[in-house]
Structures are given as structure tokens and as C-alpha cells.
Amino acid sequence: MRCVTLLLKKRISRVTEDSTDEEITHLVDAIKASGAIEESEQVATAYLKKAMAILDTFPSSKEIKPLKQIVKMLDKREY
């Protein structure tokens, strides 16, 4: 997986405003096929769980409630 990630990184770094739609489409397909999107979602979810755990250590207050709502919203959003 690491080798694939490095290859994708190189391909991404070569994208310019002159890149063709076909080049971009192939790159997007390669990113999707690599599993990188799912992996990044898992990492994000882990950080959100950590954030919620930290917020849970504070006493309930009007300041904490909107922060928890933001964490929940971020966890549910779709791309």
C-alpha cells in the first residue's frame, strides 16, 4: 500500500492547470481504487472519537454542547 501511495503522490504532484480531463479522470479512478479514501475516512473517524472523548471529560455546559454538535456533524457528512 505504501508504494501505491507514493506513486499516487507523484502523480498528484504533476497535476497542473494544463492536465487533461482524461488524465484527471484516470488519477481520480486510481485514488478511488487505492482505498485511500476509505483509509482517510477511518483516520478522521478515529480523531472525531478522540475529540468526543475529550469533550466528554468536561462538565456539561452551554459551551460544550455546540462543540459536540460540530463533532457529530463532521462524522456524518458525505463527500
Please report, for the chain, the start and end positions of each structural domain, with discontinuous segments joined by +: 2-34, 38-76
The answer to whether 52 and 70 are in contact (CB under 8 A) is no
The answer to whether 71 and 48 are in contact (CB under 8 A) is yes
Question: Cα–Cα distance between 47 and 41 in angstroms, integer?
Answer: 10
Q: Say what the pLDDT of residue 7 is.
A: 85
Q: Which of 27, 25, 33 is nearest to 10 (CA)?
A: 27
Per the listing, cell 469533550 goes with 55
Q: How confident is the model at residue 76 (pLDDT cuts 50, 70, 90)?
A: confident
Q: 17-51 pLDDT, tens per residue?
A: 999 999 999 999 999 998 888 988 999 999 999 99
Q: Say what the pLDDT of residue 79 is.
A: 62
pTM: 0.70
CA 11 to mean position of chain CA atoms: 19
Q: Say what the pLDDT of residue 22 is.
A: 96
